[in-house]
Amino acid sequence: MVDKEHRLLLEKQHYGLVGSHSACKICEWTKKSLRDQGTCYKQKFYGKIHNIQSHRCMQMTPAAYFCTNRCVYCWRAIEKTTANTMDNIPIDDPEEIADKCILAQRKLISGFKGFSGTNLKKWKEAQDPKNVAISLTGEPTLYPKISELITEFKKRAMSVFLVTNGQKPEALSKMDEPSQLYLSLDAPTKDIYKKIDAPQIPGYWERFNKTIDTMPSFSCKKAVRLTIVKGWNDNHLKEYAELIKRTETDFVEVKAYMWIGFSRHRLTIGAMPTHEEIRNISKKLNEHLDYKYKDESAPSRVVLLTRK
Mean pLDDT value of segment 135-163: 96
Query: Where is average pLDDT lowest: 73-82, 108-117, 176-185, 296-305?
Result: 73-82
What's residue 86's pLDDT?
83
Q: Where do the domains of the chain lie, and which CATH numbers do they carry?
A: 4-306 (3.20.20.70)
Confidence band for 84, pLDDT divided at 50, 70 and 90: low
What's residue 69's pLDDT?
95
Residue 160 has pLDDT above 70, yes or no: yes
What's residue 87's pLDDT?
78
Residue 207 has pLDDT above 80, yes or no: yes
Which pLDDT tens digit goes with each residue over 215-225? 999 999 999 99
Residue 256 has pLDDT above 70, yes or no: yes
What's residue 37's pLDDT?
96
Where would I find the H helices in the chain?
A: 4-12, 28-34, 41-50, 94-109, 120-126, 146-155, 169-173, 190-197, 204-214, 237-247, 275-289
Report the distance separating Cα 104 and Cα 34, nearest Å: 17
Q: What angle do CA 142, 148, 154 make, to 5 degrees?
A: 120
Q: Which residue has the higher pLDDT, 73 or 89?
A: 73
Confidence band for 79, pLDDT divided at 50, 70 and 90: confident
What's residue 1's pLDDT?
58
